[in-house]
Structure 1
Amino acid sequence: MNIPSTNIFIAEDEFELIQSATDYPLERAEDDWISGHFYRCKLTSAFQPIVNTIQNKTIGHTAYIRSESNREIALSPWQIFAQAANDAQLVNLDRLCRAIHALNYFNKTSSPGKLFISVHPRLLENVKTDHGRAFEDFLNLIGVRTSRVTIEIPPIINRYKELLRRVINNYRSRGYQIAAHYSDSSSNWISELGSLYPDIVRIEAYDLLHHNAVDALIKTIHHFGASILVWNIETFDQLTAARRAGADYLQGNYLSKPARAIHTISPD
């Protein structure tokens, strides 16, 4: 995680160039916070810190999309994506969200932290080859390396082994790190991936407490060279269980809620 910091400043002419690279309008507030417009929704970012358990410091942030309608009614992410009329619109909307997150994150922080960013499963299904190329082009436009971005693959993709292999291979070939989600229904997928195992495996805190063989699970993940990120930590007991289990990274509302700001924490 020791990556040189890259703080970007977007001049007005650069912002116009960036705007031309997106399919929907962007807006910059007085504090330089970026939002985007998709029909009647105003989309912006919220970031939640991710903490390294050994160093006890923030090493990156997970990005979440937030929105308001023209009536200032907050919409959930699934409500936002439900407004996409077809797959082409959904792909463009998903790319818009990632562009907003990248602009807000790398324009606001000079730390060497990583941006953890999710991808909609329908985008992964509809883009047949070169996953990550369009986002890499956008990152190049704003002067950010792909190595500063961790792509979070949605858990439903675990069911489709060939697609999962192709997605991991495509993103990794472009320099991104990969985070995949553990689920009981796909408990053997990591060993089946062979050399294409993800860099990080995300385990929900609830699953960690209710898994019958936590030690074996953690050992298997570490054996394949992946780190463990326990997320959705809501209580002290879940935090304690994550530390005891050997989690490498921690994330959740108990530590810090997602916010329209980029801040660091040290749980101890």
Structure 2
Amino acid sequence: MSFVTNKDGSAIQFEQLIAQFEEQGGDSPLLEHCVHFEDSGAVGRYGNLSLRSAFQPLFQADSMRAVAHEALLRVEDDRQRSLSPEQAFRTPKSPERIVHFDRLCRTIHAINFAAQAEPDAVLYLNVDGRHLLNVRGGTHGTFFEALLGHCGLRPGQVVLEILESRINDFDRLIEAIAAYQRRGFGIAIDDFGCRNSNFDRLWRLSPDIVKLDRSLIVQSTGNPRARKILPKLVEIIHDLGARAVCEGIETVAQHSLAVNAGVDMLQGYLYARPVDRLQHRPTSAVTGTADLYPPGS
């Protein structure tokens, strides 16, 4: 596979992109030669870790059309042992290396996405909360916007997913989100409904998208009270001016519950598992299931 051009024929400026990263890495051998290319696409290198991309589509609830793809990190060490993204993100310790590692992961995903995606396609990227706190002065997104430009992508094509419940410095979080939004990035609050999530924080953050934690749909499957609450949560999210995503859908019953609750987008293993190629259609049939849980049941 050639990673010289995007799908629309525009060039991905690899040399400029890598040079920009190497300049940021300084003289540390841990950060040198941080991007290379294999048949499967761009691969990041951080110490003894290899960083690759997998993509899972998000589907429009009313049409089951893929409207975006979330990039997920796949990590192996030199012994080809798999690490979870959580383990990998604990590797960098200093503020500078935390920022570098987070940017590196997002850039690898952007390269691999841009090489496959249609023009104006939308990419969801996770952002490490420590990165948000280590970048100061409202400059969030400045460096990454330049890197996206080398890939032929614009901030308006990128939605940054943030786990707000894990960030204690709420004022800094507000500052970071505002800075990203000023540059055109979309903001999604991830796993809403777990830990310390609450609507007061959501109101102050003004996200574009809210991704509901999988526990909400799981509880709704077996608990009639939770089933009645789910549509009300979605309604409040809509009242805030945001779109609602139900993630972690694994069964037809969960699909029906989410659709009947009025969510805008759906994501989960029922439709597609994460792979290195962009998928645009569900891998299983999910139509004709709305009568399993009629509205108000």
How does the TM-score come out when normalised to structure 1?
0.89
Q: Is the CA contact (8 Å cut-off) linking 1:180 and 1:201 kept in structure 2?
A: yes
Structure 1: 5+ residue runs without aligned partners?
A: none
Quote how far apart the aligned CAs of 1:10 are: 4.3
Q: CA RMSD in A?
A: 2.1
Q: Match of 1:108, as an amino acid?
A: Q
Output the CA distance in 1 between the equivalents of 2:10 and 2:81: 31
Partner of 2:87: 79
Deviations 1:131-151 (A, max 9, x none): 111111111222211000001
For 2:15, the aligned partner's letter is E
Matched, 1:103 2:111: yes
Partner Cα separation in structure 1 for residue 104 and residue 118 of structure 2? 23
| Segment of structure 1 superposing worse, 207-216 or 111-120 | 207-216
TM-aligned CA distance change 1:150 to 1:118, over 3 Å = same
In the alignment, which residue of structure 2 is the partner of 1:218?
Answer: 234
Which of 159, 168, 177 aligns to 2:177? It is 168
Residue 265 (structure 1) shift: 1.4
Cα contact 1:159–1:186 (8 A) shared by 2: no
Matches within 5 A, 1:91-170: 91-110=99-118, 112-128=120-136, 129-157=138-166, 160-170=169-179
Measured against aligned partners, the alpha-carbon deviations of 1:94-149 in whole angstroms (never above 9, x if no partner) come to 10000000000011122542100010010011112221111111112222110000
Other-structure match for 2:74: 66
**Deviation of 1:227 (Å):** 0.5
Q: Deviations over 1:10-29 (max 9, x none)?
A: 46xx3222211224421112
Matched, 1:204 2:203: no
Cα-to-partner distance string for 1:199-258 (whole Å, 9 max, x where unaligned): 100002321353742232111111111100011112222211111111100011121111
1:36–1:44 CA contact under 8 A, matched in 2: yes
User: Partners of 1:62 and 1:137 in 2: how far apart?
Assistant: 21
Structure 1 CA distance for aligned equivalents of residues 242 and 39 of structure 2: 41
The answer on whether the counterparts of 1:177 and 1:199 sit within 8 Å (CA) in structure 2 is yes
Q: 1:138 & 1:166 partners in 2: Cα distance?
A: 22
CA contact (8 A) 1:190 1:221 kept: no
**Structure 1 counterpart SS, 2:115:** helix
- Paired with 2:170 and 2:254, the residues of 1 have a C-alpha distance of 30
Match of 2:57?
A: 49
How many residues were matched structurally?
259
Measure the CA separation in 1 of the matches of 2:66 and 2:263: 14
SS where residue 18 of structure 2 aligns?
helix
C-alpha contact 1:6 1:112 (8 A) present in aligned 2: no
Corresponding letter in the other structure for 1:179: A
Greater relative CO, 1 or 2 (CA 8 Å, sep 6+)? 1
8 Å contact kept, 1:154–1:180: yes
The 3-state SS of whatever aligns with 1:140 is helix
Distance 1:158 1:75, change over 3 A: closer
1:244 corresponds to: 260
TM-score (norm 2): 0.80
Task: Decide whether the 8 Å contact of 1:232 with 1:253 is kept in 2.
Answer: yes
Query: % of aligned pairs identical?
Result: 29
* Distance in 2 (alpha carbons) for counterparts of 1:45 and 1:125: 25
Query: After the TM superposition, which of the residue ranges 163-172 and 53-62 deviates more from structure 2?
Result: 163-172
How many angstroms does 1:158 deviate by? 6.1
SS where residue 75 of structure 2 aligns?
strand
User: Where does structure 2 lack aligned partners over 5 or more consecutive residues?
Assistant: 1-5, 26-30, 221-225, 288-297
Matched residues in 2 for 1:15 and 1:42: separation? 18
Q: Which moved more, 1:126-135 or 1:39-48?
A: 126-135
Is the 8 Å Cα contact of residues 221 and 228 (structure 1) preserved in structure 2? yes
Instruction: Decide whether aligned partners of structure 1 residues 234 and 159 sit closer, same or farther in structure 2, where only a CA change above 3 A counts.
Output: farther
Amino acid at match of 2:16: L
Deviation at 1:187, TM superposition (A): 2.0
- The residue type equivalent to 1:37 in the other structure is R
* Paired residues of 1:59 and 1:112 also in contact (CA < 8 A): no
